[in-house]
Chain A
Amino acid sequence: MALGMPMRKFARLSLWVAAALLTSTMPAWSAKIRVYPDLVQIGAFFQGTEVSLEGQMPPGCEAVVEVCGPEVNETLLRKGRRAGLWMTVGELEVQHAPNFYLVLSTPPRIPELNGQDTPWGFNALRSRLKIRGALADQEKDRFSSEFLKLKESEELYGSLPGTLRVGNSPEGQAVFQGGFRLPAKVPPGRYQVRLSVVKDGQILEQKTETIEVRMVGFPALLAALAYEHGALYGILAVAIAIATGFLMGFLFKGKAGH
């Protein structure tokens, strides 16, 4: 407003000084992560979606982002050879497996911690899995690897090192950007997006955001009917099938008659 030229200069200068002071004594809470969109709706035409990530951290650090779904127990079939033929030889129960897991990072290799177990990545995931059932103790490592491969082949698990790009922001912070794909197969639920900022093999700080995946509209209606009114749904399905079968028969009869 009525500020004189020198006054304005001074104000700007003091701002710069304040900013410089702030960055030099970088407080631990400065890391940020944003997810867009944070609500994914599964409608009738859903075919998976891209989710973009954006965040900031102190310069000279590395960022690791994990996208992780709730843990579920799964029963799987183990294949093996009997009398020279490949077939199912038993069931395995896998516990503590998230239904979705991605790990992304700024460096081209997923960062590891010094002197302690790295809490992210496929190795950490593998060591958390509990497998029971038709297998010997020494086979557990092998089958936890097979489990990760199975999930990877379905795009439900993924390790994507180097997919976060780092740039510099005017505030002296390092910013990173990247994204990942939620496949059409993604089960509805809440997904944790956890940022870990790593420097010299130590975790500086962590931040967590969530993405919610929800069925809406027609798919939600149909799924609710299928799960809550199974008998009605079954009879409806049969009735529609018979009606369509007859309708098609009538249509063809008309055509053939002339």
Chain B
Amino acid sequence: MWNLYLPVAGNSINILLLFGLGAGVGFLSGLFGVGGGFLMTPLLIMAGIPSTVAAASDSNQIVAASTSGTYAHYRMGNVDFKMGFLLLVGGVAGGTLGVQIIKVLRTLGNADFVIKITYVLMLGLVGSYMFLESLQNLWKKDVVEARRAEPRKPSTYARLIQALPWQMKFDKSGVTFSALVPLFLGTLVGILAAIMGVGGGFIMVPVMVYMLRMPMHVVVGTSLFQILFTCINVTVMQAISNHTVDLVLALILLVGSTLGAQVGAKLSKRLKADQLKILLASIVLLVMVQILASLILPPTLLLGYKGGH
């Protein structure tokens, strides 16, 4: 008897399949500091869950996975709470703004085009940049280490952020800059995440690495901390206004994903930062190719249900 009925999704599904999905995505979550919604939701839809329920229940599941992951990383001293909090505040503001932008786009009638193109461009850009940069680092390890030793030339970007008010020292991340920077970047990611309908972990992680110059291990923990709160908000909102959170579905997923997140967090400690980045970049690029294929190949049916990502 391996099938369980999901009362809100209105369908029955194999427990082992859900558990496996949860474990796999939770593992990636603990490893990279991403929520994994961009992977899980399409997989759930393929398994026969209505897209709106898949997205909402997945955010409930991410709450568990990111609690587990944040906790594991916190014990290893990998969470920069100050930075996470600022990014979170920006993210909430950006999310609110992004929802309004989507509403305007919908009335103009080309929302889906903007969403899909944003997706492909963001994933393609972030994925390729991260992939190439890490590959370069892995090849020329010595050169990079030598270069890191000498003081870095301040770029325009660096000079700009040094000139901003409210300079703050982030001990865990070992960086100092204006509080406005994480607030602004958080807002930006929040807008994109709301437009794309995802938690935004896979954009937040590269932003922290490349624009906030945080060390990779702290990035993962801090990103998870931020995702935790974003997903708590989404879960409660979805439960209240759309009734699309399926607790049974989320529970089975989260048992798998919390386990996976612990294993992922452990492994992230063992892998080198560039190896982590290359792996994440490959997954991001794979998702991008899949979305691109869905845009280019003709669909089997010209009608579809609303919701999802």
Contacts and interface: CB of A to CB of B under 8 A. Distances in A.
Interface stretch (A17-25, A82-90, A108-116, A120-128): A82-90
Contacts of B7: 42, 215, 218-220, 222-223, 226
A244 B116 contact: no
B67 to A, nearest CB: 3
Contact of A234 (B68, B113, B236, B261): B236
Given A185-B48, A230-B239, A237-B235, A150 B247 contact: no
Nearest to A188: B10
A218 B232 CA distance: 24
A158 B240 CA distance: 35
A13 interface: no
Interface stretch (A44-52, A163-171, A199-207): A44-52
Nearest to A251: B262
A230 B246 CA distance: 12
A244 B258 contact: yes
Interface stretch (A4-12, A55-63, A141-149): A141-149
B288 to A, nearest CB: 14
B301 A245 contact: no
Contact of B304 (A77, A83, A143): A77
Contacts of B304: 76-77, 79, 88, 150
A252 B262 contact: yes
A240 B12 CA distance: 22
Main secondary structure of the interface of A (DSSP, over half): helix
A238 to B, nearest CB: 5
B157 interface: no
Interface string B54-74: 000000110111111111100
Interface in A80-103: 80, 82-92
A146 B301 contact: yes
B72 A242 contact: no
A42 B294 CA distance: 35
A205 to B, nearest CB: 36
A249 B67 CA distance: 8
B235 A234 contact: yes
Interface in B253-291: 254-255, 258-259, 261-262, 266
Contacts of B156: none
Of A76, A80, A184, the most chain B CB neighbours within 10 A belong to A184
A178 interface: no
B5 A44 contact: yes
Nearest to B260: A248
Contact of B64 (A47, A185, A222, A241): A241
A226 B306 contact: no
A16 interface: no
B112 A87 contact: yes
A147 B301 CA distance: 9
B247 A245 contact: no
B190 to A, nearest CB: 20
B143 interface: no
Contacts of B68: 244-246, 248-249
B5 A78 contact: no
Interface of A: 42-48, 75-80, 82-92, 142-143, 146-147, 149-150, 153, 184-185, 187, 215, 218-220, 222-223, 226-227, 230-231, 233-238, 240-242, 244-249, 252-253, 256
15 contacts: A42-B5, A44-B5, A45-B4, A85-B113, A143-B303, A146-B301, A185-B10, A226-B8, A226-B246, A233-B239, A241-B64, A246-B68, A247-B258, A248-B64, A249-B67
Interface of B: 1, 3-5, 7-8, 10-12, 48, 60-61, 63-72, 75, 109-110, 112-113, 116, 232, 235-241, 243, 245-248, 250-251, 254-255, 258-259, 261-262, 266, 294-299, 301-306
